[in-house]
Structure 1
Amino acid sequence: MLEFFWGMVGSRPVEWIAVVCGILNVSLIIRRSIWNYPFGFAVVTLYFFIFWEYRLYSDALLQIYFFIIQIYGLNIWLKGRAQDGRVVVAPLRSATFALYLGATAVVWLLVATLMATYTDAAAPFWDAAIAALSISAQFLLSRRHLQSWYLWIAVDILAIGLFYTRGLEPTAALYVIFLGLAITGLIQWRRAPIQHAAP
């Protein structure tokens, strides 16, 4: 049993630091706490180097996007807090969400084709699907939209398989935890007060 456990968690300090920061980040997002952002900045920086080392280039480049979009999200969250300090969930029309999904599919095909053609990416279409969904999910999360959690659930399911097959067992295990947290986040945000976001 212990041998199985240590095989799953691995022993690389940088990956474990990223795992801990990632769990703290998502846990605070579920609580709609602005304090998720310091951990978010740390985790994306660490995972840029981890993914680059494992030739998961779409995911590595995605961390640069995450770093930039978190600056944007921090600004939106600071302006969208209730009196208790928690951010207020902003509604998103179904038609608008459908447009985001269409744009996500276009980005997925474009990135996957580029990675398959011009790099030695280990799993270009799988990797790019995670990247494209994550781009949309993080943008929607930055805008405080409930629908971000649906995309994060899809990302987590895809990521568990990809990272496990690439030998990143601690990261795969992290995404199992993320999947549980995303489901929890969806449930909690559905119960949260909703108000219109700033245009």
Structure 2
Amino acid sequence: MVLADMVTRLQEPLFTLLDTPVSWVEVLGFGSGALCVWLVARRHIANWPVGIANTLFFILLFAGAGLYADAALQVVYVALAVYGWWSWIAGASGHLAISRTDGRTWRILASATVLATALLTVLLDRATDSTVPFWDALTTALSLAATYGQCRKKIESWYLWMAADVVYIPLYAYKGLYLTSLLYAGFLLLCAAGLRAWLGEATAAARKEALA
């Protein structure tokens, strides 16, 4: 009962933006999401526990907005975040270096993304009342591919995140989640900064290795 009351209060409006009520859970998702991406760009391991908190807020937010694939995706994110957290900790001793995604992995990710998008679109269209089944499915598939790359510190994960954000921004605005849409516009800028930082570190490491 206490948990149910807490969930209800989190979904209550905190203020109004563009004549649309903004809930506590959207504000908390905004703050934790921005902090998470900022930490990822700086390769700080704290991004994983902050990211887990962010997914919990977004489960409530997206389910309430009818973005069912995005809500379910947050559950997968929790599992991937645990894996990523462990991977970064385990890689600390052996230094999990920033690297490029090889051609074989790209082909597997591309095929998996297309297949996941198609299957999720059909599922959402037939089993839910989603008004945006394809776009919900596409962003979910892209985000999963990006998260895998982030777990392995692959530079190209930033490109995948940016592609997802380009779709997320108008999608969330269409669903009336204006604060979250603004958050993802910020994510897009943070992704560009993160990409630049990772490219710089990879280049520096390559030069150091060449001089060794």
1:154 aligns with 2:163: yes
Query: Could you tell me which of 183, 193, 206 is aligned with 1:184?
Result: 193
Aligned to 1:14: 25
1:12 Cα deviation from its structure 2 partner: 1.9
Of 138, 144, 149, 1:135 maps to: 144
1:186: Cα distance to partner? Answer: 1.0
Which 4+ runs in 1 deviate beyond 6 A? none
CA distance in structure 2 between the partners assigned to 1:170 and 1:10 by the alignment: 10
Instruction: Work out the CA distance in 2 between the residues paired with 1:167 and 1:123.
Output: 13
1:173 is aligned, of 173, 179, 182, to 182
Query: Pick from 70, 76, 96: which aligns with 1:59?
Result: 70
Shift of 1:37: 1.4
Per-residue deviation at 1:6?
A: 4.3
Q: Does the Cα contact within 8 Å between 2:20 and 2:176 map onto a contact in 1? A: no
Give the partner amino acid of 2:77: F
How far the C-alpha of 1:11 sits from its partner, in A, is 3.6
Q: 1:171 to 1:9 in 2, by over 3 A?
A: farther
**Which consecutive unaligned segments of at least 5 residues does structure 2 have?**
1-15, 207-212
- Map 1:107-126 → 2, pairs under 5 A: 107-126=116-135
Post-superposition CA distance 1:154-197 (Å, at most 9, x none): 010000010000100000000000000111111111111369xx
| Alignment partners' CA distance in 2, 1:36 and 1:167 | 27
User: Aligned residue for 1:43?
Assistant: 54
Residues 8 and 87 of structure 1: CA distance in aligned 2, closer, same or farther (over 3 Å)? farther
Structure 1 residues without counterparts, runs of 5 or longer: none
- C-alpha deviation, 1:79, in angstroms: 2.0
Distance 1:142 1:129 in 2: 20
How far apart are the structure 2 equivalents of 1:172 and 1:160?
Answer: 5
Instruction: In structure 1, give the amino acid aligned to 2:58.
Output: Y
Provide the rounded CA distance (Å) in 2 between the counterparts of 1:59 and 1:70. 16
Count of aligned pairs: 189
Root-mean-square deviation (CA), in Å?
Answer: 2.1
Higher CA-based Rg: 2
Identity percentage of aligned residues: 32
User: Partners of 1:158 and 1:8 in 2: how far apart?
Assistant: 23
Contact 2:25 2:60 (C-alpha < 8 Å) held by counterparts: no
**CA–CA distance in structure 2, aligned partners of residues 8 and 181 of structure 1:** 28
Higher relative contact order (CA 8 A, sep 6+): 1
Q: Deviations over 1:90-136 (max 9, x none)?
A: 33213321321121011000101111111111200011000000111
**Residue range with higher mean Cα deviation, 96-105 or 152-161:** 96-105
SS at match of 1:81: helix
Number of the residue aligned with 1:72: 83
TM-score (norm 2): 0.83
